[in-house]
Structures are given as structure tokens and as C-alpha cells.
């Protein structure tokens, strides 16, 4: 058997450099945002109306965030401003 250096030679400097690199990458990854936040769109751009479109209304849309009561104004993840649960806009997407 041959004695001497092997392919894996963990010197102290190499170990410290590798540890510092992994640590820095971890910190850098922690500074990145998890998801991009899109800006909300105006009511006019989404053709928002305060009355339902047939049987379709904001109350049963995935983007609607209800207010404190079922009839109270809520919010929308797409449209800016307060949103009526009986409203409608072109961003409507039914809850499944």
C-alpha cells in the first residue's frame, strides 16, 4: 500500500474557507425575498363594479379577502382599495 497524501486532504485553511463559503451562502439566501409581491391594480383597470355579474361576485372569488362580517367591505389581492363582497371585476377566479 502506498502512503502519502490522498485525494481528500482536509487542511485547516481549506476547512475554514469551505465553512465560510457555506455560511456566507446561507446568509445571502436568507436576505432574498421568498416571493415577489405584485402591485395592486386600480379598480378602473380591472373594470370593477359594486354589483355582481349574474351569479358571480367577489365573495366567491379566490382573490377576495373578506371583512369582519359577510356583508362588510373586504380586500382583494389583485385590486386596490376596499372591495364589496357583492362586487365583480375581470380578475374573478372562482374558489374551488
Q: Is the pTM of this model over 0.85?
A: no
Q: Assign 83 to helix, strand or coil.
A: strand
**Residue 74: inside a domain, yes or no?**
yes
Count of residues in the chain: 96
- Using one digit for the tens of pLDDT, what is the confidence trace for 15-35? 778 777 777 776 666 666 666
Q: Please give the tally of structural domains in the chain.
A: 1
Identify the band that residue 38 occupies on the pLDDT scale cut at 50, 70 and 90: confident
Which CATH number is 76's domain given?
A: 4.10.490.10
Sign of the alpha-carbon dihedral angle for 77, 81, 85, 88: negative
For residue 82, what are the domain limits? 47-95
Amino acid at each position: 500500500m502506498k502512503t502519502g497524501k490522498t485525494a481528500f486532504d482536509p487542511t485547516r485553511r481549506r476547512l475554514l474557507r469551505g465553512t465560510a463559503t457555506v455560511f456566507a451562502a446561507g446568509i445571502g439566501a436568507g436576505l432574498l425575498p421568498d416571493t415577489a409581491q405584485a402591485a395592486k391594480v386600480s379598480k378602473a383597470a380591472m373594470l370593477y363594479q359594486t354589483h355582481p355579474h349574474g351569479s358571480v361576485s367577489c365573495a366567491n372569488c379566490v382573490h377576495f379577502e373578506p371583512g369582519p362580517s359577510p356583508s362588510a367591505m373586504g380586500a382583494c389581492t389583485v385590486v386596490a382599495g376596499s372591495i364589496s363582497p357583492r362586487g365583480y371585476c375581470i380578475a374573478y377566479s372562482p374558489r374551488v
